[in-house]
Structures are given as C-alpha cells and as structure tokens.
Amino acid sequence: MIEDKNQARTPLSELGEFGLIDHLTKQFEIKHTSTVKSIGDDAAVLEFSNKQIVVTTDMLVEGVHFDLSYVPLKHLGYKSVIVNLSDVYAMNAQATQVTVSIAVSNRFPLEALEALYEGVALASKIYNIDVVGGDTTSSTSGLLISVTAIGEVNPEDAVYRTGAKPNDLLVVTGDLGGAYMGLQVLEREKEVFKVNPNNQPDLDAYTYIMERQLKPEARKDIVKLLKDLDVKPTSMIDVSDGLSSEILHICKASKVGCDLYEDKLPLDPQVISTCEEFNIDSTTVVLNGGEDYELLMTISQKDFPKIKANPNLTVIGYITDESVGANLVTRGDTKIPLQAQGWKNFNS
C-alpha cells in the first residue's frame, strides 16, 4: 500500500519550477499531425481539418477524489488522464491531446511527481495522446491534478445526451459496480492497516475490482466498435457517477423516460461476491457507485440486430415517454423511480 519507502527524495526546490517542468515533460513525443506546437511555448498550437473539436476538463483533488495512503501516484496519473478520455469517447470522438496541470506542496519529492508522470505517459502511450501543455504551481498542502482533453470528431458522428427517443434501447458497455466495491475493500484494508501496520492485506480475491478502482480504462474500443458495426447511438454519456445519475442526465436532456431492468444489470462475479461479503445490495452499488467509466447509450431498435450478439454491449432497458418518468423495474416486477445520487463529494 505504501510506496517508495526506500527511494530517493529529491526536494522540488532543487530543480525550480522550470527545471521541474522540463524534467517531467521531456519524455513526451508528438504522435499526431494535428499537434503543430507542443510544450515549450506560451500556448500549444493545434490544427484540425474538417473536424469538430471536443474539449473537456476534470480536476482531481487529494482528500476528495483520491487518498494517497492507498492510491499509488503512477495509478493516479494514469487515472487522471483516463477520466478525461472517457468524456471524449462519450461524445463518440477520438481523443488526440491533453494538457496536465498540477498544484503540489513541498511535501512531495521529485520522485513522487516522476511516478505521477509515469502514469500520465503510460496512458498517453496506450491511448495515443499527445501531452501538449499544462501548468505547474505550488499548493499549501494537498495535491491537485487538472487534465484537459481535446478530441476530434466528424460533425456527423458526434453523439450528445439529447437524442434519445421513446422505444430506443438503453445499452451499457462492460460491467458495473466494480470500482465502487474496489474502493470499499481499499477503505477496509486502510482501517485494518491503521490498527496493525504489520498485517499484510491479502487482496488476491479482489484483483478485478481493485483494478477497476485503481487503474480504470476508458472505452476507446467502443467508439471503434460502434463505427465497425455501423451503429450511431442516439445519445451517449460515460458512467462516472453511477448508472442512476447518468440515466437521469440522458432522460432530462432528451426529454424522455425509461424503464431500467434490475435483472439485466451487468455484474462481474467478483462484484457479486464482494457485495455479499460487505452485505451491500449490488443494485444499489450499480445505481449509485460510480467511477466505472463505461459508456451508457441509447440505440434505435432498428440497430438491435447489429449489437445483439456483442459481448461488450448489454441491453438494460428501453426509453419511454417523458410522462412515465425514469424507473427501475425490480426483479419482483415493481417500478421504482430512479433517484439522482450525484454530488456525493459535497454530501459526505
């Protein structure tokens, strides 16, 4: 859980701001012809022809979005890029560039930031992204990372939250609830560690959900899959806050209702067993958990034959008239209105 125990601790003051920026960013190479000017000037210069440009930002704050007692910095750097790419893919766009801004206190040595940027570099390599800029500043105590992602999309391919129509299928990628249950396990082990620091946690039974929490992936593959299947969703959103709140976003933006079927929710066996262990209802976890970074979309009925055999896509319900509202149809066949559970960070 605790990292770089025996590593060097070079104070940031040894490099100074510009030395630090240079040290962290010299590894980045340009991959896209749309990147005309990258790090090293007052601004990056990008050039896209015949495309629409997608821009999105997400900020991660220590103590609010992550806890460094169990999140390795490399994973944090990786995840801070992934959460932004996920928003680009939710527009059915291709991500091309990111900027990475950090606020950091002198409690962090250079080696910590190197680890953070290893994660940034790994994500940019795997997802084929140019890191084209950012900002570096000091903070009084915590660490803050803000990433902006830029992407491109053919104007006719962009998918918004607004296009869902009654009778469309409600479809989700992958499986849900893993990231939240991974967090539950990590929080539990943190408490155990506080009581007995010699107790080495055995996390073998939780590898999948641990990875879902610590090293999430963004569904770049789905943007390609949809293109290959020749399916353009009528609406799409990424699942960052829990299924319930994402469905409500689509319903509100599209002025529709929906029926979501509890027995169709895609669950990994490890999510089911960990829910049993923690005595938590798996449906509650899926609806309110968050951080799965899957894609939720609506698809016209006429496209059903194209998607029905695909293991990446699960039909979990369908769109109804706005007047009916957004509902969960339980295993017992009762209808319960879906509730928004967003803004957890402010409530807890």
Contacts with ligand ADP by CB under 6 A: the residue count is 14
Output the residue with the shortest Cβ distance to ligand ADP. Answer: 133
Q: Of the two residues 101 and 300, which places its CB atom closer to ligand ADP in the complex? A: 101
Q: Of the two residues 41 and 281, which places its CB atom closer to Mg ion in the complex? A: 41
Residue 100 binds which entry of ligand ADP, Mg ion, none, with Cβ cut-offs from 5 to 8 Å by kind?
Answer: ligand ADP
CB of 259 to ligand ADP, least distance (A): 45
Q: One-letter amino acid identity for 178?
A: G
Contacts with Mg ion by CB under 5 A: the residue count is 1
Q: Is 135 annotated as a binding residue?
A: yes
Among 135, 187, 263, 321, binds Mg ion (CB under 5 A): 135
Rounded distance, CA 313 to CA 219, Å?
12
Binding range to Mg ion, per CB under 5 A, among 40-48, 129-137, 308-316, 337-345: 129-137
Residue 226 binds which entry of Mg ion, ligand ADP, none, with Cβ cut-offs from 5 to 8 Å by kind?
Answer: none
Residue 29 interacts with Mg ion (CB under 5 A)? no
Rounded distance, CA 201 to CA 193, Å?
8
Close Cβ partners of 163 (under 8 Å, ≥ 6 residues apart): 233, 234, 235, 254, 298
Rounded distance, CA 301 to CA 133, Å?
43
Enumerate the H helices of the chain as residue ranges.
Answer: 16-25, 73-89, 110-126, 178-195, 207-214, 220-229, 243-254, 269-278, 282-288, 304-307, 344-347
Q: Which of residues 8-37 bind ligand ADP (CB under 6 A)?
A: 21, 25
Residue 17 interacts with Mg ion (CB under 5 A)? no
| Selection from 261, 186, 173 nearest residue 220 by Cα | 173
Find out whether 238 and 88 touch, Cβ atoms under 8 Å: no
Element (H, E) at 145: strand 144-153
Q: Is 157 annotated as a binding residue?
A: no
Angle at 272 (CA atoms; ends 74, 63), nearest 5 degrees: 35
CB of 8 to ligand ADP, least distance (A): 21
Q: Of the two residues 93 and 100, which places its CB atom closer to ligand ADP in the complex? A: 100
Among 12, 39, 149, 172, binds ligand ADP (CB under 6 A): 39
Residue 209 binds which entry of ligand ADP, Mg ion, none, with Cβ cut-offs from 5 to 8 Å by kind?
Answer: none
Distance of alpha carbon 91 from its chain centroid, rounded?
A: 14
**Which of the 8 DSSP states describes residue 66?**
B
Residue 100 interacts with ligand ADP (CB under 6 A)? yes
The pair of structure tokens assigned to 224 is 């390609």
Q: Of the two residues 11 and 40, which places its CB atom closer to Mg ion in the complex? A: 40
Q: Of the two residues 59 and 315, which places its CB atom closer to ligand ADP in the complex? A: 59
CB of 44 to Mg ion, least distance (A): 12
